Structure 1
Amino acid sequence: MSFELGGSGDQPALDFEDRTYTYAELDRAIDRWILEHGPGTPAYDASTLPVPDALICVCAAARQGTAVIVEDPEARPDRSVIPLSAFLLVATSGSTGRPRPLARTAASWFDSFPAFTAITGIDATDYVLITGPLHATMHLFGAVHALWRGACVTDDPSRATVVHAVPAVLRDVVGKAPKLRTAIVAGTALDDGARAVADGIDIVEYYGAAELSLVAARRVPEPLRLLDGVDADIRDGLLYVRSPYCVIGVPEWFGVGDLAELGDNGELTVRGRGESAINVGGTTVVAEDVERILETLDGVAAAAVVGSPHSVLGETVTAVVELDGTAEIGEIRSRARRTLTKEALPRRWVPIESMPRTASGKVARGRVRDWLA
């Protein structure tokens, strides 16, 4: 499937950073970009551009059949070669280490658009709110898909009918978006707090990885289900995926590194990163499970959980906690003791003023672990 703008004429296409484009104006801007940058350019670079210009650049690359780089300008990966079939040159988020370069074909994204449309219901009447930088691929995907559907991409919550956000950002957005009908969440698992804040709004949650794009999706409260054409296997408790939407150069079966379970009819339950499994005296504690519980406690704004070496138990749980100012760490510890099992209860508590996060809003677990070392 090739990429074409889904709107035309005076339909609104972009309303972002105090700049507006109709689809007719956007179409002309894309053609101007191609003329100004020439057909022989090996790769466009949208990384440092304002969002409207970056989207024009990406659409021009799709129209021209040229590769386009969309990376965090402050954390560019080492990229030695551009594959001949590459359209999109991005990178992993770096939440657990240095960003790695990735390259994907146009088809690896655009072929998933119909399935994404079917579950989200986005159409040409929508204003789609993008809440993060485009080098976080969930936001770039959301923006490009919106233009393919003929919707309007916006940064104005007051106009938004659909939002793409990680759960932590969704909590802040809902109160500013009175017209919101659908929230599309990804990046980290949907927590009860974010779900409660978005009560009355349709929530679509999808699971994926930078290397794979979409893997599974659901309309809450239904379970996650694999997308059509995507296969999964569980090996030693870890998820492996075979997908037509993967980046260039990955093995046929890609090990995601997440602890997961497969059920009937393609149901998928993701428990957390395999590397976040903490072995406490023979009991496996999943860091994300503990984080989700801690973040429901009054006084906790965010939590990151890692394993710390222990001479007898092998590992114990350490919790790094960002407080919201309404409770002291001792109170949080007492509340956690009433909720968590003995093995999952953190033995070490570290308060922090501001949780380190990636550009997409996920907790930068690798930076937390390095900081504690």
Structure 2
Amino acid sequence: MQTSGTTDRPRTVVRSLASWEDSFDHLSRLTGVTSADRVLVPAPPTGSMFAFALAHTAHLGAEAVNLPQWSPRGAVAALRTCTVAHLTPAMLAGLAGRDLGRLRTVVCAGSALPAPVRERAHEAGLRVVDYYGSAELSFVAIRSGARLAPFPQVEVEVRDGVVWARSPWLCQGYAPGQSGPLRRDRDGWATVGDRGRLDDDGGLHVVGRDDTVTTGGVSVPCSDVEAVLRSIDGITDAVVVGTPHPGLGELVEAVVVAPAAFDLASAQSRATERLAPTHLPRRWHVWTDLPLTPVGKVDRPEVRRRLVAAREAGVLPS
């Protein structure tokens, strides 16, 4: 099984069939998906999320509709008959305001689900079940009510801000000659380096893998800034990247998805209230959508490439 390759080249993850198959019934119970459903898998099974979705659907005996590539138009057409969809948060955001046909349940993973996207889905009458995991760890936590709770048969610890898991769902490692972020200890715990914390009720809050911008000697975690931007009214999604700067090394730039009537100045003022000066984006851009990888995650390197290319072409100020 390959990783999704959001920030690096995909790696081949080796796991047993049982480490997936034995978790199928848990997911069926937690999502309510049955053999009577028609399931949309909106991208090829080149990464673990959509490969698992197809395998789970086959296990149920349900019918799957697998799109050759992500397309909001193609997804809307499929949803005329599909009752369940496996989507990334960016995919779900891209369907806002569209006719969702017979869709009843969304199983969501791939990155943190922004609260505005979840709220709009609920307003549309959808049940959204989101979970946290990775190709290496498989399921770690799934949302139960208002919080991410450990998936069945999974133990979760946070050590020095890093999420560790122990369960029957862990992979065996990488293919010969390959390496990656997976680390293990002698007691059977494993991590891929995602940062997070546990609240007093045992709920897991995941802020993502380290992806930082070093600007003027200060390390700025992109995921922390993105979480603040997504909490601002009118912003439905956000991505933060670092672009080359002759004096600072890198410059913090933010791309936000917002409606045409969006008040950017007000959003910048809100961000100033909530972020340290060193973490404030120096440049802001409002786009109608964000580029996605083939497996539906926000393509951070492509966002960076577009900004740099536009600046080199004189479309954006230097």
Shorter-normalised TM range? 0.7 to 0.9
Alpha-carbon distance, 1:129 to partner: 1.3
Alpha-carbon distance, 1:353 to partner: 8.3
Equivalent of 1:192 in 112, 115, 121 = 115
Equivalent of 1:347 in 269, 277, 282 = 282
SS of the residue aligned with 2:192? strand
Higher radius of gyration, 1 or 2: 1
Establish whether residue 233 from structure 1 lines up as the match of residue 128 from structure 2. no
Separation (CA, whole Å) in 1 of partners of 2:135 and 2:280: 32
CA RMSD of aligned residues (A): 3.4
Contact 1:318 1:349 in 2 (8 A): no
Tell me the equivalent position of 1:97: 8
Contact 1:238 1:274 in 2 (8 A): no
Separation (CA, whole Å) in 2 of partners of 1:258 and 1:280: 25
Post-superposition Cα deviations, 1:32-89, rounded to whole Å, max 9, x if no partner, equal xxxxxxxxxxxxxxxxxxxxxxxxxxxxxxxxxxxxxxxxxxxxxxxxxxxxxxxxxx
SS of the residue aligned with 1:145? helix
Alpha-carbon distance, 1:110 to partner: 0.5
Task: Give the gaps of 5 or more residues in structure 2.
Answer: 67-77, 174-181, 309-318
Alignment of 1:98-247 (within 5 A): 98-154=9-65, 156-173=78-95, 175-199=98-122, 200-219=125-144, 221-247=145-171
Establish whether residue 326 from structure 1 lines up as the match of residue 266 from structure 2. no
Separation (CA, whole Å) in 2 of partners of 1:279 and 1:272: 20
Number of residue pairs the alignment of both structures matches: 279
Alpha-carbon distance, 1:240 to partner: 1.9
Alignment of 1:14-93 (within 5 A): 90-93=1-4
Tell me the equivalent position of 1:337: 269
Separation (CA, whole Å) in 2 of partners of 1:325 and 1:124: 38
Separation (CA, whole Å) in 1 of partners of 2:189 and 2:281: 35
Amino acid of the structure 1 residue aligned with 2:206: V
TM-score normalised by the chain length of structure 2 = 0.74
1:320/1:285 Cα in 2 relative to 1: closer, same or farther (>3 Å)?
closer
Separation (CA, whole Å) in 2 of partners of 1:363 and 1:182: 22
Separation (CA, whole Å) in 2 of partners of 1:306 and 1:149: 41
1:298/1:264 Cα in 2 relative to 1: closer, same or farther (>3 Å)?
closer
Tell me the equivalent position of 2:69: none
SS of the residue aligned with 1:195? helix
Name the % identity: 37
Tell me the equivalent position of 2:196: 260
Amino acid of the structure 2 residue aligned with 1:268: L
Alpha-carbon distance, 1:325 to partner: 7.5
Work out which structure has the larger RCO, using CA pairs closer than 8 Å and 6 or more positions apart in sequence.
Answer: 2
Amino acid of the structure 1 residue aligned with 2:282: R
Tell me the equivalent position of 2:73: none
Alpha-carbon distance, 1:192 to partner: 2.5
1:241/1:308 Cα in 2 relative to 1: closer, same or farther (>3 Å)?
farther
Task: Give the gaps of 5 or more residues in structure 1.
Answer: 1-89
Alpha-carbon distance, 1:280 to partner: 9.0
Contact 1:278 1:306 in 2 (8 A): no
1:146/1:280 Cα in 2 relative to 1: closer, same or farther (>3 Å)?
farther
Contact 2:258 2:288 in 1 (8 A): no
SS of the residue aligned with 1:159? coil
Which one is further off, 194-203 or 295-304?
Answer: 295-304
Equivalent of 1:358 in 293, 299, 303 = 293
Alpha-carbon distance, 1:366 to partner: 4.1
Which one is further off, 109-118 or 243-252?
Answer: 243-252
Tell me the equivalent position of 1:66: none
Amino acid of the structure 1 residue aligned with 2:110: G
Separation (CA, whole Å) in 1 of partners of 2:251 and 2:108: 28
Alpha-carbon distance, 1:178 to partner: 2.8
